[in-house]
Amino acid sequence: MRNLIKNVKGFLIKIGNIIKTFFWNVRRIINNFKRKISNFLDKHKINPAGKFPGWAKALLYLSPALIVLAVFTFWPIINSFALVVYENYNMTNNTITGYTIFGNFLRVLTDESFIVPASHTASSAVINTLIIVFISVPISIFIALGVSVALNSIKPLKGFFQTIYFLPYVTNTIAIGLVFAYMFRTDGGLVNQFIGLFGVDTAGLSWVESNAVYWRSMFVLIFYSIWSALAFKIMVFLTSIQGIDKQYYQAAAIDATPKGRIFSKITVPLISPMIFYITVTSVIGAFKIYNAIVALFGVQGAPPGVNYNLQSIVMYIYQFIDGSKEGQLSVAAAGSLILFAIILVLTIVQMQVSKKRVHY
């Protein structure tokens, strides 16, 4: 028995040695081959590392990203200009009936419920979007400025408050939107309960359900978009306020400058580039509002049983992809190019202004 074990052990060691020598041999052969190549290269004075062009190496590193980007980012940009000139593009069998230059744009611009409110409704996509942009952006910027100045002036609990204000940024828009819709219910909703505390009769006071007046459901939408947009603005304003040189404040403190004056003459001018940047980005963000509307009012974009619609420009575009007017992708492309044009103008304005207005 002991002999057998010894034999087996010896056998295993032998096999192990064979494998080891095999790999050593392979390594030696490869190294020899390498040496031969380098000898050859040296002989003919070729230096591969020097001759290997930079772009080939770059292409190797860039190719995974560029392939995906080419298919899903660059091609769509080219293709949407192609789609716009198709007439009656049919997605299922990939056919068109002809070409038009402005036909699809005209269809969008003259469409009921894009700019001009449809006869049976009181609102259109552009009007809704503009209302959201012009109300929610200024209010949220004012609140965010106030909060970040207040946060900057305290020491205890600062991190705690900062964390809480950041919470809306990391939440799911749809999930919290459903919670908001639930909070604004007519019977037994939290908001109606709260208003009821002040003696207002809340029976039948509807916000997001049937019989909701346009301005009430718009209020909920704007409230929700401000609530969810605050986090990012507070964050950015706070970092830029903390970056202001303390000397300005010390000088102001020696002169016993009132707080309001410090705010308007030191803080705001010094962070004005950031305020401007945030204004433009949040205007762009508000133009693209979509998830909040879907979360609050469903895919139709309106409370049930009302004669208006709360759809935004993006929602108008998506109804051609999956929605009431499914399949008319050319019109959708025209709509998205119009949205792109708006955003492009805003971005150019931002770039020009931020070049000129540098405060420090």
Find the helix or strand (DSSP H, E) in which 86 lies: strand 86-87
274 binding other proteins? (CB under 8 A): yes
253 binding other proteins? (CB under 8 A): no
Nearer to other proteins, 3 or 201 (CB): 201
User: Torsion angle, CA of 217/220/226/228, rounded to 10 degrees?
Assistant: -120
Residues from 76 through 135 that contact other proteins (CB under 8 A): 76-77, 79-80, 83, 91-92, 94
Q: Can you say whether the dihedral through the CA atoms of 286, 291, 296, 302 is positive or negative?
A: positive
204-235: burial string, b at 16+ Cβ within 10 Å, e else? ebbbbbeebebebbbebbbbbbbbbbbbbbbb
Minimum Å gap between C-beta 113 and other proteins is 17
339 binding other proteins? (CB under 8 A): yes
261-300: burial string, b at 16+ Cβ within 10 Å, e else? ebeeebbeebbbbbbebbbbbbbbbbbebbbbbbbbbeeb
Minimum Å gap between C-beta 2 and other proteins is 44
Cα–Cα nearest to 353, from 243, 277, 271, 266 = 277
Chosen residue from 133, 222, 317, 319 binding other proteins by CB under 8 A: 317
297 binding other proteins? (CB under 8 A): no
Chosen residue from 108, 125, 141, 183 binding other proteins by CB under 8 A: 183
41 binding other proteins? (CB under 8 A): no
Nearer to other proteins, 119 or 204 (CB): 204
Minimum Å gap between C-beta 4 and other proteins is 45
Residues from 185 through 204 that contact other proteins (CB under 8 A): 185, 187-188, 190, 193
Structure tokens given for 184 = 């604004």
DSSP annotation of 167 reads: G
Q: Which stretch binds other proteins (CB under 8 A): 36-44, 47-55, 117-125, 133-141?
A: 47-55
Chosen residue from 249, 288, 300, 354 binding other proteins by CB under 8 A: 288
Return all residues near 348 (Cβ < 8 A) that are at least 6 apart.
none
46 binding other proteins? (CB under 8 A): no
SS3 245: coil
Count of residues that bind other proteins according to CB under 8 A: 92
